Structure 1
């Protein structure tokens, strides 16, 4: 073996990156090139003995035999990886592990190419001891790109200081079916909201500054239309048309690419009969040729093998690998399919130029990130940076802003800590730490996660609180509803916390991709999270029985849903005195919920997704195309709660809308929002457009602009939105984005079904 310290031109820091890439590529064998296109499981690559970390035998074997260039989830801990608080890595050990893995590959390979460490980081780095934010659907409920960008910077700092380089996230799948198991990871149903928030997360994660200690490569998931599977079944075909694809599902990814995203992950599903992992039109024509994407494409876990075993478009893994790489996939996540590319090149079935192009994309980013020059991190900094007080406060702010007040009858909320003498805190999600966190979360110390019970107790004191779990999320083999009833009878108010869970445990089984398997004979709380698709949106187990029994006591009831998808809220909407949804609010969720209930924070979260009345209404989303549907024989077409909806403890008044034509299809829309209530508060002003007539069928309304702003009681703010040509385009009959002359209706309000101002603009 030639020493990795041998001097090559690519080691010259003064050379441009492109020259360094070209020189390195010139020295690489075919096997070394293909190795850069592999990304095996990172948690299998190290061994922990006490406080010492060593490269595992498997890692040494993979370095020698496969020359791997990337790893996924080296710091990941969860039941699937079988890494626990005891057997996993704290931030300092994680940084040391990353250094050891880098040191081994650099010192024991011919060219000394550093490895990329890719980590899950949708709502916080999926590693022990990190900061856990609300899941994606909760972050979307904030309607605050400014906050999301700050959260992105926190996540990127925590990943990078531990030696990671790539953060898997944000998830930009639009969701139209709440039965799907991964709703919680998304930013909801709307392309504009999703695109704005996704771009903000990418900017926060370090777009344009990956060479700094705070920047990472963000990986957009999942390209594309993964969130609308047939029947709500994870990975099933997306039954959408090409115009719908270009109008709704592609734009959020385009916005994030424009913001600087440098990695994209393919989706498991197919669109119009073409699997996304072998779709050259999407991965090459659209992503690279049309959008100018300069990063690399990574397959979702084993999705290249899935071209054979799931989609049946390839008879062999060999053929599947060729399909994927020719379509534009650069990296094989977790699988072995790309190893077959060596034979494909040697037999002349695949051009070496295809391999060189893919490898260059990966190597270029390694050079730009500075890994060839300084591949190591300082472990002493990791413990100080990760989950710092500043980051915990950010988690609290995010959780507060994600909470949505859906009902507040007779203004029962906020409660007064002084006036309320006895509080019953009830429900399966009132004091379950992992049910607060959602999927893609590592094990956490108990002290790191604040439950609703913890939060309430911290405000009113333990002497005023009586906690009864009442029942489980799914398990019906036991309950303590009678105890819950007694607690409610003796209370001034009952706070009942129900919903669902994505908390993985060591009893649940997992398939190779990490998705959970529903097993007979064992009922964890898990009703959401990857693989847990549902046929019903009802509360499971005995939760509805619990709610009805507590309500029957006559004690006022505040119901809180902690959930990963929109669940049936009909009963609570009608019978609860107050109703909130907190989604999965993260490690500070309990404090945030208590702050809202007791008025320390005035809620202003807004729904990023429609809440249906019944599963039979699905798909139900606000921006469906004309014509407007009619009611069913047995129920209304209208949702229970509409996209953009959310209440406050104060009241806002909208007035004085003005539209100014600035020329060249630019318009300025201004209006006044006044706080007429008794509390300071935040409002989320929303502007929708409706194209009155067009050459192709258009949505009945489409969000174009929004702004979350704080207004003191009695004060008012002028809001100005600038409408650009991008806001006016449609996809015409030839699939071109065009601006057609005609009239648009401007609709301004606090929700998609609460339009308070309207006007018209004319495009000549």
Structure 2
């Protein structure tokens, strides 16, 4: 009798169906999502709940044998012991994960692997809950065989949110077709510290530009419906103010006042949340002594109460454990888990921040059942909203056809073209003629596929990436002799080919010298448990890597013998074109003074070589603009354009202004601004200001201009920036064509935080400025706001 009763209790508690019994409510697709969530949570044990919010590292969860793929013993053990409901980076391949082109998964096998994981999870757990799979997607899905776009700093250099939204849609489609549900990105940290290793992952130094790019990425990732089979949840990184660490040390403390936090660092996140972002990742740093992964003001008051966020918050990798080991605000793992979940961190990216520690915290009464259930519900809501309980599987054949298709490759080239910033072009050396007899292509980044792609990039088949050398050769293969010499490495000074490079330059009509940096990881580099590189050189050879997560710099000088190489090439008297491929602003003082042409390509992605060649030979007219200021010296940092008043004064050694300012970039076309007008709507309760002006192409070459609108609050009750970007638009103009650009400003866009920390539109005078960069103001006018 006891055995019968026990069986009946098990049937009722698990929801298993017997003949004539209705299926559990949570499995009914016709039922409201909230009802399904509540029903499922009511059936779950403490261990199952904690498992749902524990995100394990996924790349060891599949087993590949030739062309067959299935679940691994590690996954079976993790599911049995931890009841995990989420995996991260299952399809990731790079030196840290030790997944190569041979041991990793192509798109077809990736889809088969995620299907196998889902099938095992659904069929071998008590409640049959499908997995939620998160992947890195900042400039392409970080998996083998996907399309690699320019890194984020290049994306923002396009100043074209519509294009970036298209790119994000392509990335989402590629990731979703392989079984992913969450795309980590965009990174919305303001990059105001160029020594910091992750500048390449950001959209630059300005909150308005960051916000526009963040909105574009969220819309592109999430689309109109998560059930589309083409979209993924967007995870905003890193909340908050992660990009300005003291000394440039990745993950270090920041010194940002509360007013500046709200006026500059939080608005891009707010914009993306208002655009519908459904996930947010905490940052490693602390703000005013409170780690971001245990900060209830950030995660509860601001994110949820003030902004209305209803998605889920996930920790950065290991950041919950970091409360114990790094910040030392917790005495043990149990206290760290308690601090995090009570502050509003719903999911643990690591699997060891919560897990047993959180279970013990709940049992000890440190964490209430209501807090735990709320976190679990936020994660389950995504699974139900994506329809995973009805169909957690994807079509491997479709993945094979859609990932890195021709349209996406062409889109990668377009984004790269629009991202290129022409910094200097004396005497119109560019565009080059395709009838040149000889070109010397020189430099460590001229023919290195990985140095061109940036961090968070999977291994690549060589034929998938077009280098600068290859792009040039394809342009002039039938007319011009192209001689290539590497010259030197990025960092290694043990050997060089400078003499050979000089000989090549002497015998050429023009020398294209491709310099910069690298975020290319290799198997020689040592890595931390978070995946950040240690920056320790190998005993065998010095890695090129001088940027990318963990590679913070003390200076911004070109490393190795690069500047020596360039100086020797310049001495030949051959016209020199410098192309920069890098992840952060570098010291360009000597180059700017002595070289007639400079093209900044950042990390331009797999089609970078084609895009650069398009610009060099005039098949594409460059119009990229800098999203970050280029300093003259690390000694003048910070040098971002919208610093607080008063205007900085010059140093003894150098000017206070940057070498190249925010918003700067040249074109083969010339543009004229005129007829500025400023008008206000009649409704004084909600003033709407319209600013319009005309731009005319006064050259014989069609091209794009990036119109930028800046505002200065002339007298404010709290100190305000010397100027602040408010609006921008990239427009195309044919020769002699003129267009009217119209921008509208809401009252909220002119507000400040007053002494009482309240947002207020103060009456008074504003200067409105329009131009081609933050320093190249072409027209300006006055705006008066009445009481």
Q: TM-score range by the shorter chain?
A: over 0.9
- Secondary structure of residue in 1 paired with 2:639: coil
User: How far has the Cα of 1:227 moved from its partner?
Assistant: 0.2
3-state SS of 1:96 partner: helix
Name the structure 1 match of 2:6.
Answer: none
2:498 alignment partner, one of 454, 457, 481: 481
2:390 & 2:305 partners in 1: Cα distance?
31
Matched, 1:527 2:573: no
How far 1:52 moved relative to its partner? 1.0
Q: Secondary structure at the match of 2:655?
A: coil
Q: Deviations over 1:182-217 (max 9, x none)?
A: 000000000000000111110011244112111110
What residue is the counterpart of 1:213 in the other structure? 229
Cα offsets for 1:396-431 (capped at 9, x unmatched): 00000000000000000001102x110000000000
Q: Which residue of 1 aligns with 2:700?
A: 678
Which among 45, 50, 56 is matched to residue 29 of structure 1?
45
Distance change in 2, residues 1:490/1:4 (3 Å): farther
Match of 1:508 in 2: 525
Secondary structure of 1:337's counterpart equals: coil
Aligned residues: 763
Residue 317 of structure 2 is aligned to residue 317 of structure 1: no
Alpha carbons 2:751, 2:762 under 8 Å: kept: yes
**1:184-223 equivalences in 2 (<5 Å):** 184-223=200-239
Return the offset for 1:335: 3.6
Deviations 1:602-646, CA, capped at 9 Å, x for gaps:
000000000000111111100000011111111111110000000
What does residue 747 of structure 1 align with? 769
Residue in 2 aligned with 1:665?
687
Match of 1:76 among 86, 92, 101: 92
SS in 2 for 1:497: strand
C-alpha separation between the residues in 1 aligned to 2:584 and 2:106? 31
Matched residue SS, 2:184:
strand
CA contact (8 A) 1:151 1:204 kept: yes
Matched with 2:342 is 326
Name the TM-score, length of structure 2 as normaliser: 0.96
* Partner in structure 2 of residue 85 of structure 1: 101
Q: Report the counterpart of residue 736 of structure 1 in structure 2.
A: 758
Residue 178 of structure 1 corresponds to 194
In structure 1, which of residues 596, 600, 607 is the aligned counterpart of residue 615 of structure 2?
A: 596
* Residue number in structure 2 paired with 1:626: 645
CA distance in 2, matches of 1:38, 1:306: 16
CA RMSD after TM alignment: 1.0
Mapped partners of 1:276, 1:4: distance in 2: 39
Preserved CA contact (<8 Å) 2:711 2:766: yes
Give 1:523 deviation, angstroms.
1.0
The offset of 1:517, in angstroms, is 1.1
Quote the residue 2:473 is aligned against: 457
Q: Secondary structure at the match of 1:392?
A: helix
Distance 1:312 1:733 in 2: 33
- How far apart, CA to CA, are the structure 2 residues paired with 1:468 and 1:567? 23
**Partners of 2:57 and 2:89 within 8 A in 1:** yes
List per-residue Cα deviations over 1:53-102 (Å, max 9, x = no partner). 12111110111111101000000000000000000000000000000000
Aligned to 2:430: 413
Preserved CA contact (<8 Å) 2:335 2:361: no
Structure 1 stretch displaced more, 184-193 or 629-638: 629-638
2:516 to 499, 509, 512: 499
- Structure 1 CA distance for aligned equivalents of residues 240 and 133 of structure 2: 24
Aligned residue for 2:448? Answer: 432
**Contact 2:169–2:223 (8 Å) recurs in 1:** no
Mapped contact 2:314–2:345 kept (Cα < 8 A) = yes
Q: Distance in 1 between matches of 2:590 and 2:714?
A: 38
Which residue number corresponds to residue 278 of structure 1? 294
Match for residue 759 of structure 1?
Answer: 781
The residue number in structure 1 matching 2:366 is 349
CA distance, structure 1, for counterparts of residue 607 and residue 197 of structure 2: 24
In the aligned structure 1, how far is the partner of 2:762 from the partner of 2:34?
A: 42
Cα displacement (A) at 1:349: 2.0
- Compute the displacement of 1:734 (Å): 1.9
Report if aligned partners of 1:4, 1:108 keep a CA contact under 8 Å in 2.
Answer: no
1:365 matched to 2:344? The reply is: no
Query: TM-score normalised to the size of structure 1?
Result: 0.99
2:459 pairs with one of 421, 443, 461: 443
What is the SS of the residue equivalent to 2:59? helix
Corresponding residue of 1:166: 182
Task: Tell me how far apart the structure 1 counterparts of residues 768 and 381 of structure 2 sit (CA, whole Å).
Answer: 46
Give the gaps of 5 or more residues in structure 1: none
Is structure 2 residue 589 aligned with structure 1 residue 570? Answer: yes
Segments of structure 2 that go 5 or more residues without pairing to the other structure are 1-9, 18-22
Does the 8 Å CA contact 1:266/1:300 hold for their aligned counterparts?
A: yes
- For 1:633 and 1:166, how far apart are their aligned partners in 2? 51
The match for 2:59 among 15, 28, 43 is 43
Q: 2:741 matched to 1:719?
A: yes
Runs of 4+ in 1 over 3 A off after TM superposition: 1-6
Q: Does 1:701 align with 2:723?
A: yes
1:393 aligns with 2:415: no
8 Å contact from structure 2 (residues 191, 204) kept in 1: yes
